[in-house]
Amino acid sequence: MRIAVASDERTGVADAVVEELRRRGHEPLLHGALAEGERDDWAWASEAAARDVAEGRADQGIVCCWTGTGASIAANKVEGIRAALCGDAETARGARKWNDANVLALSLRGTSGAVLGEILDAWLDAEPSRDETDAANVRHLDEI
Measured CA distances, 139 to 44, 132, 143 (Å): 27, 10, 7
Among candidate residues 65, 95, 101, 106, the one labeled active-site is 65
Question: Does 64 qualify as catalytic in the annotation?
Answer: no
71, 118, 26, 6: CA torsion to nearest 10: 10
Distance CA 54, CA 57 (A): 8
From the list 131, 3, 120, 139, the residue with the least C-alpha distance to 59 is: 3
Residue 137 Cα to chain centre, angstroms: 20
Helices (H) and strands (E) counted in the chain, each on its own, are 6, 5
- What are the catalytic residues? 65
